[in-house]
Structure 1
Amino acid sequence: MTGQLYHCSLVKTCNWTMRVALGLLLLLLGLCGSGAQREEGGLGEVGEINEVQVTAPRDAVEEKTEQSTKQTVPDIWAEVRALRDMLVELKVYVEILQRENSDLQTRLSSTERELLVGKSRIDQLERENTVQATELLSLETRLTATENKASDLEKKNADLQTRLSNTERELLVSKSRIEQLERENAEKPKVAFYTALTDAGYVGPHNTDTTLKYSKVFTNIGNAYDPATGFFTAPVKGVYYLQFTVCGNHTGLMGVFVFKNNQKIIYNVEWKEDKLYKYFTKSVVLELLAGDTIHLVLPSTHSVFDDGDNHSTFSGSLLFPL
């Protein structure tokens, strides 16, 4: 649009210049005609003066007319030459303006093409911008959702950290307690034994009460049981669990006494009428002082049976110290 306005202004300038040149030419022609008329009129006036003033010399009039004509003609030609030079300059200026106009037209066309390309690029960028704005909105929505999720995860993580700290403290307490129990357990005496009576078969009946010596020792942790005497001696004060099994394979009485130190605390007996195996098992929980003894006694006229199958046994262990 600006190029078109500039082109119109340039055309108007050229037209105005041509009109000025044409006006100058018309002025030149008018001057030429006016000079000729002055020359003719002067001669007529001289003639009239010659007729009226007979006394004026003829030579003087002719001289004056010649001088006037010589003076007027050179002035006109000088103006004509000046106008011609101006016209040439105007033509050159017009050519320059035309060339500049042509260059401007070329530049204008190039600029308009670039403008069209620019507009097309702007439209493309606007479309891309619209797409990017949509994507940005989608990303912002996703980012908001992600931030909310991250916030929830942070809260959960904080809760887990708290729980983990509590668990770690509890674990430390548990480890400390376990170590304490392990130390106490390590310091705690370990007492357990398991024995069987004999491989000889029948034991008894005897005329007197007889201490049973369980000679087959399978377990004797703490060495609290003595197979040579048949006595279990409590190494520490505590609560002990004791158990015995009696087998009979002979007609008659089968049974045992249980003694704590020299005190009889249990008497278990069975009557057996045939020669088939017969069993009974008893157990007892006793509080013993360090040094207290437990042993089993076979009453007189009673018998028990044992062989390689370990039918009659005696066992015990420390439940906990006191």
Structure 2
Amino acid sequence: MRRAAAFLVLLLCLYWTRAQGESGGVTGNDITQTEVQSDILGVIATSDQTNITPDIWAELKELRDMAIKHSVELSNSKSKMEKLEQENTAIQDRLTASESNNAVLETRMNTSENEVEELKRQNADRPKVAFSLGLTDAGRIGPFNTDITLKFSKVFTNFGQAYSPTTGLFTAPVRGVYYFSFNIMDQRKNVWTGVYLYHNDKRLLLNDDYNDEHANNRISNSLALQLEKGDLVYMVLPAHRSVFDDANDHTTFNGFLLFPL
């Protein structure tokens, strides 16, 4: 197409040169030829645009589409990066919170361990005092004409060795509050049974009862006492009273330290 246009231009130039040489100037034909030349040049331009411009626009359109595509991809990538940064920030916040919680838990654990160690130390320093005793396997004891101290000879437990089976006396090893309890029995009919509980020389309790024809009379009691170091606690069989015990341990005496003071 471009070659055909060039050929037409060449013909026009030859024709126009010949006409000008014959007339010696510009005529109406020259104007017509000029217009024709312009028309032909327009055709050439149009022809060039027809052949070249669509290709350029297609390439520009392709470049534009590629730019738009890359812009969208870049925008998506930016959004993904922002999302990842947000997730990373959230993870870091969780890690920070977990570290804080771990620090709190570790502090609590250390505090608990210290408290346990302190309790162990206090427990180790605290005197261990407890006893549980049976009276005898001999059966009936009493009645006597005078009061006698009962000597519980069967020792089940005697932590701290504060009770003496030989004397029947409990001696407080430390100042504190102690708990004591006892059970007594007499299986005979028509007799009195009973005991006293003494603190030093002071009689605290008297528990007695008359065994009628049904026999097997039982008595029990308990109390808490504040004792000074060296104080004595013991049980006494009153005059004209009796108790009974055998291998079944019907008559017992028990005590232990509640807490020191």
- Number of the residue aligned with 2:242: 303
How many residue pairs align between the two structures? 231
- 1:117, 1:307 → 2: CA distance? 121
- Number of the residue aligned with 2:66: 125
Using the TM superposition, give the Cα deviation of residue 201 of structure 1 relative to its aligned residue in structure 2, in angstroms.
Answer: 2.2
Choose between structure 1 and 2 for higher RCO, CA contacts under 8 A separated by at least 6 residues.
2
- Number of the residue aligned with 1:61: none
- Number of the residue aligned with 2:119: 181
Using the TM superposition, give the Cα deviation of residue 132 of structure 1 relative to its aligned residue in structure 2, in angstroms.
Answer: 3.7
- 1:297, 1:288 → 2: CA distance? 19
2:207 aligned to which of 268, 275, 278 = 268
Using the TM superposition, give the Cα deviation of residue 185 of structure 1 relative to its aligned residue in structure 2, in angstroms.
Answer: 1.9
- 1:157, 1:201 → 2: CA distance? 76
Distance 1:210 1:122, change over 3 A: same
Deviations 1:17-55 (A, max 9, x none): 7x28x96xx99xxxxxxxxxxxxxxxxxxxxxxxxxxxx
Matched, 1:190 2:124: no
1:292 aligned to which of 227, 231, 234 = 231
Question: What is the one-letter code of the residue matched to 1:179?
Answer: E
Which secondary structure state, in structure 2, belongs to the residue aligned with residue 258 of structure 1? strand
- Number of the residue aligned with 1:282: 221
Structure 2 stretches of 5 or more lacking a match? 23-47
- 1:188, 1:131 → 2: CA distance? 79
Question: What is the one-letter code of the residue matched to 1:207?
Answer: N
- Number of the residue aligned with 1:211: 149
- 2:111, 2:259 → 1: CA distance? 24
Equivalent positions of 1:16-165 (< 5 A) are: 19=14, 118=59, 121-122=62-63, 125=66, 128-129=69-70, 132=73, 135=76, 139=80, 143=83, 147=86, 150=89, 154=93, 165=103
Deviations 1:52-106 (A, max 9, x none): xxxxxxxxxxxxxxxxxxxxxxxxxxxxxxxxxxxxxxxxxxxxxxxxxxxxx9x
Question: What is the one-letter code of the residue matched to 1:299?
Answer: P
Using the TM superposition, give the Cα deviation of residue 179 of structure 1 relative to its aligned residue in structure 2, in angstroms.
Answer: 2.5
Question: What is the one-letter code of the residue matched to 1:298?
Answer: L
Using the TM superposition, give the Cα deviation of residue 147 of structure 1 relative to its aligned residue in structure 2, in angstroms.
Answer: 3.0
Distance 1:274 1:118, change over 3 A: farther
Using the TM superposition, give the Cα deviation of residue 9 of structure 1 relative to its aligned residue in structure 2, in angstroms.
Answer: 6.8
- 1:210, 1:239 → 2: CA distance? 26
Using the TM superposition, give the Cα deviation of residue 294 of structure 1 relative to its aligned residue in structure 2, in angstroms.
Answer: 1.2
Matched, 1:242 2:180: yes
Greater helix share, structure number: 1
- 2:133, 2:141 → 1: CA distance? 16
For the aligned residue pairs, the C-alpha RMSD in angstroms reads 4.1
Using the TM superposition, give the Cα deviation of residue 158 of structure 1 relative to its aligned residue in structure 2, in angstroms.
Answer: 6.2
Question: What is the one-letter code of the residue matched to 1:125?
Answer: M
Structure 1 stretches of 5 or more lacking a match? 28-104
1:259 aligned to which of 195, 198, 205 = 198
Deviations 1:237-274 (A, max 9, x none): 11111111112211211110112223322211111103
- Number of the residue aligned with 1:316: 255
Distance 1:9 1:182, change over 3 A: same
Question: What is the one-letter code of the residue matched to 1:210?
Answer: I
Aligned sequence identity (%): 32
Distance 1:126 1:271, change over 3 A: same
Using the TM superposition, give the Cα deviation of residue 173 of structure 1 relative to its aligned residue in structure 2, in angstroms.
Answer: 4.1
> What TM-score results when the alignment is normalised by the length of structure 1?
0.57
- 1:277, 1:7 → 2: CA distance? 146
Question: What is the one-letter code of the residue matched to 2:205?
Answer: I
Question: What is the one-letter code of the residue matched to 1:147?
Answer: Q
- 1:238, 1:179 → 2: CA distance? 23
- Number of the residue aligned with 1:231: 169
Distance 1:304 1:273, change over 3 A: same
